[in-house]
Amino acid sequence: MSEFQPTSRTQVKRLPKRAHYDRETVYQILDTAFVCHVGFSVDGQPFVIPTNYGRSTDTLYLHGSAASRMLKTLSAGVPVCVTVTHVDGLVLARSAFHHSVNYRSVVILGTARLVEDSAEKMEALRVFTDHVMRGRWDDVRQPTEQELKATIVLALPLEEVSAKVRTGGPVDDEPDYALPVWAGVLPLQITPKQPIPDALRKNDPPIPDYLRNYSR
Protein backbone atom coordinates (compact mmCIF):
# COMPACT_ATOMS: atom_id res chain seq x y z
CA MET A 1 0.00 0.00 0.00
CA SER A 2 1.47 3.36 -0.99
CA GLU A 3 -0.26 5.33 1.78
CA PHE A 4 -0.63 5.09 5.53
CA GLN A 5 -4.27 4.98 6.48
CA PRO A 6 -5.07 7.90 8.81
CA THR A 7 -6.69 7.00 12.11
CA SER A 8 -8.69 9.12 14.53
CA ARG A 9 -5.37 9.88 16.24
CA THR A 10 -3.30 10.72 13.14
CA GLN A 11 -5.87 12.48 10.96
CA VAL A 12 -4.65 16.07 10.55
CA LYS A 13 -7.46 18.36 11.60
CA ARG A 14 -5.74 21.75 11.73
CA LEU A 15 -5.02 22.88 8.13
CA PRO A 16 -5.74 19.43 6.64
CA LYS A 17 -4.59 20.56 3.18
CA ARG A 18 -1.04 20.33 4.52
CA ALA A 19 -1.47 16.68 5.48
CA HIS A 20 0.36 13.89 3.69
CA TYR A 21 -0.13 10.19 4.29
CA ASP A 22 1.87 8.75 1.39
CA ARG A 23 4.94 6.69 2.17
CA GLU A 24 7.16 8.62 -0.24
CA THR A 25 6.69 11.88 1.69
CA VAL A 26 6.98 10.22 5.10
CA TYR A 27 10.13 8.31 4.15
CA GLN A 28 11.78 11.41 2.65
CA ILE A 29 11.19 13.40 5.84
CA LEU A 30 12.47 10.61 8.08
CA ASP A 31 15.48 9.72 5.96
CA THR A 32 16.85 13.27 5.68
CA ALA A 33 16.62 14.18 9.37
CA PHE A 34 18.99 13.28 12.21
CA VAL A 35 17.00 13.75 15.40
CA CYS A 36 13.56 12.67 16.56
CA HIS A 37 11.73 13.61 19.75
CA VAL A 38 10.29 10.73 21.74
CA GLY A 39 7.27 11.51 23.92
CA PHE A 40 5.95 9.18 26.63
CA SER A 41 4.43 9.34 30.10
CA VAL A 42 5.55 7.71 33.35
CA ASP A 43 3.27 7.86 36.39
CA GLY A 44 1.47 10.87 34.95
CA GLN A 45 4.66 12.78 34.19
CA PRO A 46 5.21 13.45 30.45
CA PHE A 47 8.72 13.34 29.00
CA VAL A 48 9.97 14.36 25.55
CA ILE A 49 13.50 13.16 24.81
CA PRO A 50 15.57 13.97 21.70
CA THR A 51 17.51 11.07 20.23
CA ASN A 52 18.82 9.62 16.98
CA TYR A 53 17.04 6.94 15.00
CA GLY A 54 17.16 4.87 11.84
CA ARG A 55 14.52 3.52 9.48
CA SER A 56 14.26 0.20 7.65
CA THR A 57 11.15 -0.12 5.45
CA ASP A 58 8.19 0.34 7.82
CA THR A 59 10.15 0.11 11.08
CA LEU A 60 11.75 2.96 13.02
CA TYR A 61 14.62 1.87 15.29
CA LEU A 62 15.66 3.62 18.50
CA HIS A 63 18.75 2.71 20.45
CA GLY A 64 20.87 3.70 23.41
CA SER A 65 22.44 2.58 26.66
CA ALA A 66 20.99 -0.41 28.46
CA ALA A 67 20.72 1.96 31.45
CA SER A 68 18.45 4.36 29.56
CA ARG A 69 15.23 5.04 31.49
CA MET A 70 13.46 5.99 28.28
CA LEU A 71 14.33 2.78 26.46
CA LYS A 72 13.61 0.54 29.43
CA THR A 73 10.26 2.28 29.92
CA LEU A 74 9.27 1.96 26.27
CA SER A 75 10.34 -1.69 26.13
CA ALA A 76 7.69 -2.38 28.78
CA GLY A 77 4.96 -1.38 26.34
CA VAL A 78 4.32 2.27 27.28
CA PRO A 79 2.63 4.09 24.37
CA VAL A 80 4.98 6.42 22.51
CA CYS A 81 4.77 9.40 20.19
CA VAL A 82 7.77 10.09 17.95
CA THR A 83 8.10 13.32 15.95
CA VAL A 84 10.59 14.48 13.32
CA THR A 85 10.71 18.06 11.98
CA HIS A 86 12.63 19.98 9.33
CA VAL A 87 12.56 23.79 9.30
CA ASP A 88 13.02 24.77 5.66
CA GLY A 89 12.51 28.50 5.86
CA LEU A 90 11.35 31.52 7.83
CA VAL A 91 8.18 33.01 6.36
CA LEU A 92 8.15 36.77 6.98
CA ALA A 93 4.79 38.45 6.48
CA ARG A 94 3.79 42.10 6.57
CA SER A 95 1.96 41.55 9.85
CA ALA A 96 3.27 39.88 12.98
CA PHE A 97 0.19 37.64 13.04
CA HIS A 98 0.90 35.98 9.68
CA HIS A 99 4.57 35.13 10.24
CA SER A 100 5.21 31.40 9.87
CA VAL A 101 7.81 28.79 8.94
CA ASN A 102 8.07 26.38 6.05
CA TYR A 103 8.44 22.93 7.52
CA ARG A 104 8.13 19.18 6.98
CA SER A 105 7.11 17.02 9.92
CA VAL A 106 6.12 13.46 10.76
CA VAL A 107 4.20 12.13 13.77
CA ILE A 108 4.33 8.41 14.65
CA LEU A 109 2.17 6.80 17.31
CA GLY A 110 2.46 3.27 18.60
CA THR A 111 4.15 0.84 20.96
CA ALA A 112 7.78 -0.18 20.57
CA ARG A 113 9.10 -3.71 20.99
CA LEU A 114 12.44 -4.76 22.38
CA VAL A 115 14.73 -6.19 19.68
CA GLU A 116 16.17 -9.40 21.10
CA ASP A 117 17.18 -11.25 17.93
CA SER A 118 20.92 -10.73 17.53
CA ALA A 119 20.80 -10.53 13.73
CA GLU A 120 18.05 -7.89 13.76
CA LYS A 121 19.88 -5.97 16.47
CA MET A 122 23.08 -5.89 14.43
CA GLU A 123 21.14 -4.85 11.34
CA ALA A 124 19.48 -2.05 13.30
CA LEU A 125 22.90 -0.76 14.38
CA ARG A 126 23.97 -0.77 10.73
CA VAL A 127 20.84 1.21 9.88
CA PHE A 128 21.66 3.77 12.61
CA THR A 129 25.22 4.18 11.42
CA ASP A 130 24.40 4.51 7.74
CA HIS A 131 21.52 6.87 8.52
CA VAL A 132 24.01 9.36 9.90
CA MET A 133 26.64 8.74 7.21
CA ARG A 134 25.77 6.48 4.30
CA GLY A 135 28.57 3.96 3.72
CA ARG A 136 30.19 4.43 7.13
CA TRP A 137 29.26 0.97 8.49
CA ASP A 138 31.52 -0.80 6.03
CA ASP A 139 34.55 1.24 7.20
CA VAL A 140 34.28 0.96 10.97
CA ARG A 141 34.85 -1.81 13.51
CA GLN A 142 31.69 -3.80 14.13
CA PRO A 143 30.18 -3.86 17.66
CA THR A 144 31.55 -6.46 20.06
CA GLU A 145 29.38 -8.85 22.06
CA GLN A 146 29.93 -6.70 25.14
CA GLU A 147 28.90 -3.55 23.27
CA LEU A 148 25.76 -5.26 22.00
CA LYS A 149 24.82 -6.27 25.55
CA ALA A 150 25.29 -2.68 26.68
CA THR A 151 22.90 -1.42 24.01
CA ILE A 152 19.10 -1.51 23.90
CA VAL A 153 17.41 -1.44 20.50
CA LEU A 154 13.69 -0.82 20.10
CA ALA A 155 11.58 -1.28 16.97
CA LEU A 156 8.57 0.97 16.41
CA PRO A 157 6.29 -0.10 13.54
CA LEU A 158 5.25 2.65 11.13
CA GLU A 159 1.52 2.08 11.28
CA GLU A 160 -0.16 5.18 12.73
CA VAL A 161 1.72 7.86 10.82
CA SER A 162 1.01 11.28 9.34
CA ALA A 163 3.09 14.03 7.78
CA LYS A 164 2.41 17.75 7.56
CA VAL A 165 4.16 20.14 5.19
CA ARG A 166 4.09 23.91 4.64
CA THR A 167 5.68 25.50 1.59
CA GLY A 168 5.44 28.87 -0.15
CA GLY A 169 5.42 32.49 0.87
CA PRO A 170 3.46 34.56 3.36
CA VAL A 171 -0.30 34.94 3.15
CA ASP A 172 -1.22 38.44 4.30
CA ASP A 173 -4.54 40.17 4.76
CA GLU A 174 -5.37 42.08 1.59
CA PRO A 175 -5.00 45.59 3.10
CA ASP A 176 -1.53 44.73 4.42
CA TYR A 177 -0.09 44.25 0.91
CA ALA A 178 0.13 48.05 0.68
CA LEU A 179 2.39 48.30 3.76
CA PRO A 180 6.05 49.29 3.12
CA VAL A 181 7.32 46.12 4.82
CA TRP A 182 9.62 43.52 3.23
CA ALA A 183 7.93 40.14 3.05
CA GLY A 184 9.05 36.76 1.74
CA VAL A 185 10.93 33.63 2.75
CA LEU A 186 14.43 33.15 4.17
CA PRO A 187 15.35 29.57 3.12
CA LEU A 188 17.30 27.50 5.64
CA GLN A 189 19.34 24.37 5.06
CA ILE A 190 22.07 22.25 6.62
CA THR A 191 25.36 22.90 4.82
CA PRO A 192 28.37 20.64 5.55
CA LYS A 193 31.73 22.32 6.08
CA GLN A 194 35.29 21.04 5.77
CA PRO A 195 35.77 17.84 7.84
CA ILE A 196 37.99 18.25 10.93
CA PRO A 197 40.29 15.27 11.58
CA ASP A 198 40.48 13.73 15.04
CA ALA A 199 43.34 15.45 16.89
CA LEU A 200 44.29 12.10 18.49
CA ARG A 201 44.45 10.14 15.24
CA LYS A 202 47.41 7.78 14.92
CA ASN A 203 47.30 7.70 11.14
CA ASP A 204 46.05 10.05 8.48
CA PRO A 205 43.97 8.20 5.86
CA PRO A 206 42.41 10.25 3.09
CA ILE A 207 38.92 11.65 3.58
CA PRO A 208 36.49 8.99 2.30
CA ASP A 209 34.34 9.82 -0.70
CA TYR A 210 31.10 9.49 1.28
CA LEU A 211 32.34 12.27 3.58
CA ARG A 212 33.84 14.41 0.84
CA ASN A 213 30.58 14.24 -1.16
CA TYR A 214 28.24 14.30 1.83
CA SER A 215 24.67 15.48 1.41
CA ARG A 216 21.28 14.71 2.96
More confident call, 134 vs 1: 134
Give the confidence band of 200 by pLDDT, cuts at 50, 70, 90.
confident
2-38: b or e for each residue (b if 16 or more CB lie within 10 Å)?
Answer: eebeeeeebebeeeeeebbbebebbbbbbeebeebeb
Condensed to tens digits (0 to 9), the pLDDT of residues 148-186 reads 999 999 999 999 999 999 999 999 999 999 999 999 999
More confident call, 102 vs 203: 102
Domains within the chain, CATH numbers bracketed: 16-88+100-171 (2.30.110.10)
Condensed to tens digits (0 to 9), the pLDDT of residues 31-58 reads 999 999 999 999 999 999 999 999 999 9
Give the confidence band of 216 by pLDDT, cuts at 50, 70, 90.
confident
Q: What is the pTM of this model?
A: 0.91
pLDDT for the residue numbered 7? 93
pLDDT mean across residues, the chain? 95
> What is the pLDDT averaged over residues 199-208?
84
